[in-house]
Amino acid sequence: MRFPISTGTRRSRLGIAGGGLIALVAIGAMLILAGSSAASSPTTVPLGTAGSFAVLAGSAITDVPTSSIHGNVGVTPAAGSFVGLGCAEVVGTIYSVDNSGPLPCRVTNQPLLVGAMNDSITAYGNAAGRIPDTTFLGADNQLGGNQTLVAGVYRFGGAATDNLIGPLTLHGSASSVWIFQATSDLKFASNSSIQFSGGAQACNVFWQVGSTATLFTSSKISGTILALTSIVIQHGATLNGRALAQTANVTLDDNSIVRPTCATQGGGSSTSQAPSRAIYCDPNGKAYDLVIGEDKQAPYSSLNLVPAYIDPVTGSASCNFPVAVTTTTTTTTVPPPTPVTPAPTPKPAPAHKTKGVKAAKHVKVVHAAPKPAKHPSGFTG
């Protein structure tokens, strides 16, 4: 038996079916977008020689002790200044273009610093030129609090108070890359933080800042900060990354900065070491920051490089080798004894024949008879 279906019923069912289809299509589209966002990781930002630096400033580095910095530190291109920063605070090398900087760990190497700053400027342009996947609108807290972002390029403007409040989780693999483009100042609120999941690493996070970046007190931030002007890291804030400022100061206040290195894809932790680097010195005291073993390769192989001096107290490497203390010892030279020429052994005297004593010649005595005496009388007898 068939039951007739009214026109209204057919329409309602078609409406329900159509609505369900639309919903499925929408869900599918969302899944596709989510999947594409997670998979569309940008390529990394090449840092060149700037990658060995934890702090690099265009005019000065000021510090309220005691900070802890793991990585090289430098000021360039003009004659810069170091205020409050001591050798014991840096596990790495402090470079300057002149005689400024703390001794005995400071190394003067203008070519190295200029090259590093040029590479930092190139990296800034590379990051700024990426096409954003997402542009955050609004004038405050664009990165939110307690949200999760997959790999990609994110752009946002200045904030009335802060760009980030609370935790921000970056979810991705060990090769996933995040590039944040701050068109104006970048502000991390006090106690804000960057967290990772899925194997994501701090070495693959880049903050391109159009003006000044500020890490407020006790914030815990990760990634390389490429600031056009300056970077301010307030009291107790930590940076698992780099502070690279092009034209102005990097200001520190009892901070911890650790230059990040990437683990290889497929295992390891974010603290695993990339190819290790070391400072080498030529005979003139010029320093070279090279991958270990590169000193034996062209063009460095012809420079007669030797490993830098490692200060036993601070652990800093430099080409300021300590002067060896020479002890003067007066040595009295005793002339060798005059050789004594042994007297020649006398030849044994030739054996002489023993001559007998010649018999005395017998002297024949002729006894002449005495002449008779003559008497006055003339007769003899």
**Is residue 189 in some structural domain?**
yes
pLDDT of residue 364: 54
Q: Are 161 and 223 in the same domain?
A: yes
**Is residue 341 in some structural domain?**
no
pTM: 0.64
Q: Are 199 and 174 in the same domain?
A: yes
Q: Are 301 and 208 in the same domain?
A: no
Which residues lie closer than 8 Å to 380 by C-beta, 6 or more apart?
A: 371, 372, 373, 374
**Is residue 25 in some structural domain?**
no
Q: Are 219 and 312 in the same domain?
A: no
Query: Which two structure tokens, joined as six digits, stand for 33?
Result: 């977008």
One pLDDT digit (tens) per residue for the chain, 381 residues: 444 444 444 444 444 444 444 443 343 333 333 333 344 789 999 999 999 999 999 999 999 999 999 999 999 876 678 999 999 999 999 999 888 889 999 999 999 999 999 999 999 999 999 999 999 998 899 998 889 999 999 999 999 999 999 999 999 999 999 999 999 999 999 999 999 999 999 999 999 999 999 999 999 999 999 999 999 999 999 999 999 999 999 999 999 999 998 876 444 433 333 445 678 888 988 888 776 777 877 767 788 888 888 766 556 678 888 875 444 445 556 566 666 666 666 666 555 554 544 544 554 545 555 555 555 545 444
What are the contacts of 115-119 at 24+ separation with CB within 8 A? Answer: 115/48, 115/49, 116/48, 116/49, 116/50, 116/52, 116/53, 116/56, 116/74, 116/76, 117/50, 117/56, 117/58, 117/76, 117/77, 117/246, 119/47, 119/48, 119/49, 119/50, 119/51
159 sits in the region (left: phi over 0; alpha: psi -120 to 50; else beta) called beta
**Is residue 226 in some structural domain?**
yes
Secondary structure (3-state) at 378: coil
**Is residue 32 in some structural domain?**
no
Q: Can you give the residue range of the structural domain that contains 303?
A: 276-322
Query: Which two structure tokens, joined as six digits, stand for 140?
Result: 């405050």
| Domain tally, the chain | 2
Q: Are 200 and 98 in the same domain?
A: yes
**Is residue 35 in some structural domain?**
no
Q: Helices marked H in 133-286 — which ranges?
A: none
Q: Are 80 and 218 in the same domain?
A: yes
**Is residue 372 in some structural domain?**
no
Q: Are 90 and 236 in the same domain?
A: yes
Q: Are 280 and 131 in the same domain?
A: no
Rounded Cα gap, residues 227 and 248, in angstroms:
9
Q: Which residues of 2-38 are buried (b: 16+ CB within 10 A; e: fewer)?
A: eeeeeeeeeeeeeeeeeeeeeeeeeeeeeeeeeeeeb
pLDDT of residue 17: 43
pLDDT of residue 5: 45
Q: Are 168 and 253 in the same domain?
A: yes
Rounded Cα gap, residues 354 and 156, in angstroms:
138
Q: For residues 117, 121, 126 and 131, what is the CA-based torsion angle, rounded to 10 degrees?
A: 140
**Is residue 110 in some structural domain?**
yes
